[in-house]
Every structure is written in structure tokens, then in C-alpha cells.
Chain A
Amino acid sequence: MAKTFKKPEALSDQTTHYCPGCTHGIAHRLIAEVIDELGIRGRTVGIAPVGCAVLAYNYFTFDFQEAAHGRAPAMATGIKRVRPDLVVFTYQGDGDLASIGMGEIIHAANRGEKFTSIFVNNTVYGMTGGQMAPTTLPDQRTTTSPAGRKVEEVGMPIKVAELISALQTPAFVARQAVLKPKYIVRAKKAIKKAFQYQLDGRCFSLVELISTCPTNWGLTSWEAVKWAEEKMIPYFPLGEYKTPE
């Protein structure tokens, strides 16, 4: 009988530590599929963040480095500059990339470093227990905004895809979601494009993925998907924000 569904070679056998309903697993699988399809596993180096995906290196089967909080783009810069033949990507959450690592991502993008950033936006710090992130929506309750995010005190959520797109340096920037099949198909296309741009030596590429955190949002898996679709996507619209032409 022909095998119609199998685990990508780039993905390991290890069971993930992610919570039920978390969409990190989907993002991991899409990256692994793309790496398989492009045949680049033997020259790819991933960079794991600090946050829920801190152990991401356990779930892939190629070389990995583990960064400090927010510093993955600087590490990717270091690798890519000395080994342009390697395919390098960072995998970062919203606390990591949009808060403590904002400086590193902006400058790496602005230099046009030829690596790929996969940015998982689920509006909260997951690993540390659901604290407010730079992407937390107005009035959204978190463990450090128990009365809801007060925008008059902490500002509006940061739209990372739009922010990076505003840089003049050519780049590929897209925002997609890993919520339902229709979104997931588009997300994979964006990730593949991002890696292809890197392989062609064209530009920096960043794909923001609208994701869920049912545990810290206090919702069931399905409620979380619906919440992300109804609350996040209107504020964080999907699409391609910048292409290098």
C-alpha cells in the first residue's frame, strides 16, 4: 500500500512538550516540510529562541544553535556572514523577537541579512506563564495585565510585519496564520518563499505566523482558534507586506 502521509525527514521522532491545541507543532511541521522539499536539511542551521520553543532543537533533525532571549537574529547574522552557504533560520516568539530582541531583528532586517525569521505571534509570553507581550491586544487580560492591556499606559500592540516592511532595504515579509487548513496552506507557501529568497541570496525574509496559546488564554483548543481568527486577524491582517522586487 502506498504511504500517503508521513513525517518529514527534517522532523524528529520526539514527542513535543507543547500544550494541547498549541500551534507551534504546525509551524514546526511546515518548516520541516519546506526543508525536505527544498532538499536543504544537510546545510540548514536553525536557531532556537527563549520561550516555549526553547527546546525546538529537539524536534528537528538538523544542526541547531540555542540563542539567548532575543538574540537569535544576531547569531544568525554571525553564521550567515561567515558561512553564506548555510541556510539559516531563526524561530522566535513575540516576547523574544518583538520585545527583548527588537533591536537585533530590526538591524538584521535592515542590513538585509540573508537569513529567514519565523515569527510566532500568540500575543503572550507562553513559557513564563502568560504575561503581557508587545503583541497583546488592547484590553486583553494576561498575568501582568490582569485588568486588560491599558493602551494609554503601555501603547498599542506592535505590528511586526508592518514595522519590518517599513524599512527601505529589500526584504520578503509576510503574515499568515496556522489556525485552519485554508490559512495553513498559505502559511506554508510563505515559508517556502522565504527560504527560496534566502537560497537565491536575495534578501532577508520574515514570516509572521498568527498562532494560539489556549493554555494562557484560558480557552479550549477550538475556542482559541476562533479567538485568534476573530480578534487577532482583524488587528494583524494577513498577506504579503513586502517583496524584494
Chain B
Amino acid sequence: MGRILMKGNEAIGEAAIRAGCLNYFAYPITPQSEVAEYLSRRMPEVGGVFLQGESEVAVGYMIFGAAGCGARVFTTSSSPGISLMSEALSYISGAECPAVFVNIMRGGPGLGGILPSQADYFQATKGGGHGDYRLLVMAPAGVQEAVEMVMKAFPLAEKYRNPVMILGDGLIGQMMEPVEFPDELKSEPSNNDDWATSGMETRKSSRRNLVKSLFLDSEQLEAHNRVLKAKYDRMRREEVRYEPYNLEADYKALIVSYGTMSRVCRTAVDILKVEGFEVGMVRPQTLFPFPEKAIEEAVRRESCKVAVSIEMSMGQMVEDVERSVRGRCPVEWFGKSGGDVPTPEEVIDAVKSFVKELI
């Protein structure tokens, strides 16, 4: 099949179907309502389930219920909606169920705005809901990558029995780019007979399964949280993904940027290169686990004077960049979070000013 031109939101919906997920529950919210609109047409065509829930709170638990009984299931929302789903994310993580959540971020806090933003970085990578849990967070920088990440998210969620979040932004959702749906990313749901409440008859077992996050006994809860921690540590070892850009040059500064913002930064790097001003970039494709080692290694370059976290927020990822750099060089932040995506020119001015301050 050739390339087709698709809006990010619609491509995300189609990608889930192509990945083998035929169950979708959601609540409309700008700028991702096209996913629900698309799947309300498409799911009946493929014999799948589409349901518009009464709220994001309820949708979170529809996902929990469906995932708990062993079905592949996903939802999409945008920032304020993800806040409401964060309760369920905590429960789903605690109960170790696989599910995929897509956040097409808009500006915040509160109602904020509906234009692109990356201000849910903390929410996605550090919690949002209560308790010691982590989401595996992937951040696409374009429609094709969004498709591939959605398709990979389902087997990853099943591998870890943990929610996976795709963290995009309004621009990724709204823009159209040519896409292909790689057949090789279609996957069969993994066997879940040992934990899912699929009905004892269905799995031909006399042992019942229990999906829960309640452990009233302190030793049991301790042991449970150790199990969860071991999973998150395994993610740190096995799932880090990032894209290096211009790291072969003798760069004066290292940019760390993800998603839509990283594309702007790539253009900035290209323009600066023509000027003879070398800048390298690490683009995290997973935000949790974060490419700490790649960043640490990149700033060891003799020529590198500063690391700059460039994000559409008032400085969230910069804290992880600082953690990764481990004091090897100064770390700066540049960003905007009102909804206007910074331009390459603004990025160039910021990077130059940080380098200049150091010389």
C-alpha cells in the first residue's frame, strides 16, 4: 500500500486498528476529537467497539475494565481530559493492566488553550495520578512516527502489563502528512490467561483471576511496589529510544527537544550549520524512560559548552536534562507555552545567546 495523506488524529485512529486494537472508548475534546469522529465511522466497519463515554473519568475506567478482562483497548484525549483520566491511570498501573493512552496536548493549566503545547511533560513522565507508578511515554515528531508509535505501543503495553502513553501535541493531531501503515507492526495480543478476568470457562481454568490494586497488608504492598519498580527499571534498560542529530560535528551546544518542537530545532540546526555554527541535538523518542546516557555522553564532547532544553512548556523536561548532564556543563531552557510554536529563528537566537554568555 502506498502513502496516503492523513491528518494526525485520523492516522492515530487507523494505526490502532492496523495494530490489532479494535476497542476504543473516548470523550470529545479539542484538539483530538477527530480521532473519535474517525473511529465512530471506522470501528463498525471492522467489527470493533466504539463508545463515547459520559466523561473522561468514566472513559478511564471503561479502559480499565476492558483491559482487565484481557482486551486490547485504547483511548485518546487532550490535556484536561488526561487530568481526569489520571485517576484511572494510577489504578490501571497498580493493577498491572496493558492499555494505550494518547494525549494530544493543548495549553494549560486549567482550561488553558487549544493550541499546541508540551506542558504535560511532568504529568506524563512523573505521575499525574497518585502512587509509585510510571507510564512508558513515547513522543512522536510527525504523523508517520505517531502511527508507528501507536502500533508499537500495544505489544509494549502487554510486555510490561502497564499503560503506554503517546504524548503528541495539537499540531501533530491537526496536521496532515503522508503516512504508511507498516504491516510488520501488526501484532497478535499476548496470552493473558494467568491474570485477566476473561471468564474461567473462556480460558479453561479452575483458578479465578483477580484484577486489583488494593494491598492492605504493608508487606504485600511493599512487595507489589517492588515488582512495579523492577518493571520500570527494565523499561529503563530496554526501551530507551532517541534520535541523534548532527552529533558527528564539533557542536558548541547540545539541544534536547522532542515532538513538534524538535522539528523546529532540526531546522534551526540546519540553518546554523550553514552559518558555520555547529549545534547537536538529541531528540528523545521515549520520555520515560529518558535517554539520560545519550545526553550525558553527548555533553562530554570537548566543544560542547552548554545543553539547552527546548520545549513548549515553561521548563519541565529541562529538569531531566539537568539530571542527565550531571553537572558536566551548564543547562539552559528555552520555550514558550501559550500556543505559538517557537520559530527556528527564535531557537537560533536563544541558542546563540546561551553560547555567547559562556564565551
A residues bordering B, Cβ < 8 Å? Answer: 41-45, 47-48, 54-55, 57, 60-68, 71, 74-79, 81-83, 85-86, 103-104, 107
Contact = CB atoms under 8 A, between A and B. Distances in A.
B54 A83 contact: no
A78 B212 contact: no
A67 B92 CA distance: 10
A45 B199 contact: yes
B23 A81 contact: yes
Given A68-B61, A79-B197, A81-B66, 14 more contacts: A45-B69, A54-B214, A63-B69, A63-B199, A65-B64, A66-B211, A66-B213, A74-B61, A74-B62, A75-B65, A78-B61, A81-B49, A82-B69, A107-B58
A107 B54 contact: yes
A63 B209 contact: yes
6 contacts: A57-B212, A62-B208, A63-B69, A63-B199, A64-B212, A74-B65
A28 to B, nearest CB: 15
B29 interface: no
Interface of B: 23, 25, 49, 51, 53-55, 57-69, 71, 73, 87-88, 91, 95, 197-202, 208-214
Given A65-B197, A66-B213, A81-B23, A76 B65 contact: yes
A67 B61 CA distance: 8
B64 A75 contact: yes
Given A41-B200, A79-B69, A107-B58, A63 B208 contact: yes
A111 to B, nearest CB: 8
Contacts of B95: 65-66
Contacts of B59: 74
A78 to B, nearest CB: 3
Contact of B197 (A42, A45, A71, A104): A45
Given A43-B201, A75-B61, A81 B51 contact: yes
Contacts of A78: 25, 61-69, 73
B206 to A, nearest CB: 9
Given A65-B65, A71-B57, A42 B214 contact: no
A43 B23 contact: no
B69 A66 contact: no
Given A66-B211, A75-B64, A103 B55 contact: yes
Contacts of A81: 23, 25, 49, 51, 62, 66
Nearest to B54: A107
**Residue from B49, B62, B202, B214 having most chain A Cβ neighbours under 10 A:** B62
A78 B51 CA distance: 9
A80 B55 CA distance: 18
A68 B87 contact: yes
Contacts, number: 132
B212 A103 contact: no
B197 A82 contact: no
A86 B211 contact: no
Given A45-B69, A78-B66, A79-B68, A65 B211 contact: yes
Contacts of B201: 42-43
A81 B67 CA distance: 12
Contacts of A42: 199-202
Given A42-B201, A81-B51, A83-B71, A64 B208 contact: yes
A65 B200 contact: no
Contacts of B25: 78, 81
A8 to B, nearest CB: 14
A16 to B, nearest CB: 15
**Residue from A43, A62, A68 having most chain B Cβ neighbours under 10 A:** A68
A211 B88 CA distance: 30
A46 to B, nearest CB: 9
